[in-house]
């Protein structure tokens, strides 16, 4: 059906163009191609650091097949320079459209302007770039980063940090009664990525802690971030950093907030090694809602996971087809997500897709 739809769209755009109803090809802002053949998409993925990322990659690859889009996929292995190189090569290959996940927020202006000069539309997937609020910007204002890319598809990372803090405020006093202050250890994601900056800020905002401070106490005095370090979104580093936290402050940690489930799962082992009980002595909150987190919640070693949807492939392909056939797309296609904890994990687990 989708393939048929793509063909019909292409034909209708061509017919409109031939009748003078399409946009004039001379318009420099016109990035449409009026596709009459298979769309070619260059896709720069950041790597395979987590269960979430693998699910995202699989979703993109499967959707490209389903939409009959030729995908030139490049894995940057967490290096921005590899992404820049890949995107430059996509431009040289004259792909129809470029999709990419910016590993960090900064350093994209020049390459995105090269894409614009080449009249290739760009879709930011999952992570965003600095200075962008992912809303349509004043056309022509090239100082506004929102004008450097065409569309954004992904989550509100700041809101995920808010949701994690809110879950903690709603649940931790019941799980660990009788305490006047709760000490929090935080495992941050890749420093400088929008997933790290957003979750870091959102968590603090909800607690009333200045968003530039790594450590600090909530405005009501009940929650204190005592430790905060990056674990780069991986299980191995989550485990290592938590091991160090347990050595320095193990006895006083009440809550672990991990910017993703993989680091939370890595940390569970370090907590057990140190002789404390994960999910009971230390309340563990992650982000992503991957299957591994559901298994840990069902086993009782993890308490909550804030969903961040990695199944973005269909939206990416749908947006690409729309852009290339002259249809309007929203600047930001926001993901719909839920929160999970030990109360609803077992029921939700069988229907989880990642």
Please tell me the distance from the alpha carbon of residue 97 to that of residue 318, in angstroms, as a whole number: 12
- Which residue of 129, 165, 195, 312 would you call a contact of ligand AHR, by CB under 6 A? 195
Are the beta carbons of 64 and 318 closer than 8 angstroms?
no
- Which residue of 32, 41, 45, 52 would you call a contact of ligand AHR, by CB under 6 A? 52
Please tell me the distance from the alpha carbon of residue 302 to that of residue 249, in angstroms, as a whole number: 20
- Residue showing tokens 């030990």: 342
Other beta carbons less than 10 A from residue 92's beta carbon: 9
Region from 26-34, 45-53, 169-177, 316-324 binding ligand AHR, contact rule CB under 6 A: 45-53
210-239 residues in contact with ligand AHR (CB under 6 A) are 233
Assign 15 to helix, strand or coil.
helix
- Which residue of 83, 260, 303, 315 would you call a contact of ligand AHR, by CB under 6 A? 260
- Which residue of 32, 44, 45, 50 would you call a contact of ligand AHR, by CB under 6 A? 50
Nearer to ligand AHR (CB atom), residue 22 or residue 238: 238
CA dihedral 115, 117, 119, 121 (to 10 degrees): 30
Which class for 343: exposed (0-12), middle (13-18), buried (19 or more C-beta within 10 A)? exposed
Residue 186 binds ligand AHR, judged by CB under 6 A: no
- Which residue of 116, 287, 302, 324 would you call a contact of ligand AHR, by CB under 6 A? 287
CA angle 320, 324, 327 (to 5 degrees): 90
308-337 residues in contact with ligand AHR (CB under 6 A) are 308
Region from 44-52, 70-78, 145-153, 266-274 binding ligand AHR, contact rule CB under 6 A: 44-52
Which pair of tokens denotes residue 178? 């009788």
Nearer to ligand AHR (CB atom), residue 225 or residue 290: 290
CB of 1 to ligand AHR, least distance (A): 30
CB of 21 to ligand AHR, least distance (A): 40
Nearer to ligand AHR (CB atom), residue 50 or residue 315: 50
124-163 residues in contact with ligand AHR (CB under 6 A) are 126-127
Please tell me the distance from the alpha carbon of residue 58 to that of residue 64, in angstroms, as a whole number: 10
Region from 50-58, 130-138, 293-301, 312-320 binding ligand AHR, contact rule CB under 6 A: 50-58
**What distances in angstroms separate CA 324 from CA 37, 38, 68, 329, one per listed residue?**
11, 11, 14, 11
Q: Residue numbers of the site for ligand AHR (CB under 6 A)?
A: 49-50, 52-53, 126-127, 195, 233, 260, 262, 287-288, 308
């Amino acid at each position: 059906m989708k393939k048929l739809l793509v063909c019909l769209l292409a034909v209708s755009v061509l017919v409109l163009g031939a009748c003078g109803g399409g946009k004039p090809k001379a318009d420099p802002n016109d990035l449409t191609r009026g596709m009459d053949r298979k769309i070619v998409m260059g896709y720069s993925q950041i790597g395979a650091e987590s269960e979430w990322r693998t699910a995202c990659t699989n979703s993109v690859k499967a959707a490209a097949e389903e939409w009959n889009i030729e995908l030139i996929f490049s894995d940057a292995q967490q290096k921005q320079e590899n992404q820049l190189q890949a995107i430059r090569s996509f431009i040289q290959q004259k792909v129809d459209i470029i999709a990419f996940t910016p590993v960090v927020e900064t350093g994209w202006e020049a390459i995105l302007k090269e894409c614009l000069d080449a009249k290739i539309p760009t879709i930011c997937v999952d992570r965003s770039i600095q200075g962008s609020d992912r809303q349509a910007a004043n056309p022509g204002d090239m100082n506004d980063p929102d004008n450097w890319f065409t569309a954004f598809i992904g989550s509100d990372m700041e809101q995920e940090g808010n949701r994690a803090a809110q879950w903690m405020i709603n649940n931790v006093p019941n799980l660990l009664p009788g305490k006047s202050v709760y000490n929090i250890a935080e495992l941050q994601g890749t420093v400088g990525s929008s997933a790290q900056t957003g979750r870091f800020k959102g968590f603090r905002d909800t607690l009333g802690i200045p968003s530039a401070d790594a450590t600090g106490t909530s405005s009501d005095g009940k929650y204190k971030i005592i430790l905060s370090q990056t674990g780069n979104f991986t299980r191995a580093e989550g485990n290592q950093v938590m091991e160090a936290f347990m050595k320095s402050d193990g006895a006083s940690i009440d809550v672990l907030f991990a910017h993703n489930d993989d680091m939370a799962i890595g940390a569970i082992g370090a907590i057990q090694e140190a002789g404390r009980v994960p999910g009971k002595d230390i309340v563990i909150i992650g982000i992503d809602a991957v299957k591994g987190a559901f298994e840990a919640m069902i086993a009782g070693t993890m308490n909550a996971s804030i969903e961040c949807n990695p199944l973005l492939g269909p939206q990416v392909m749908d947006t690409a087809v729309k852009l290339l056939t002259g249809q309007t797309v929203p600047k930001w296609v926001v993901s719909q997500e839920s929160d999970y904890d030990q109360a609803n994990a077992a029921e939700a687990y069988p229907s989880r897709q990642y």
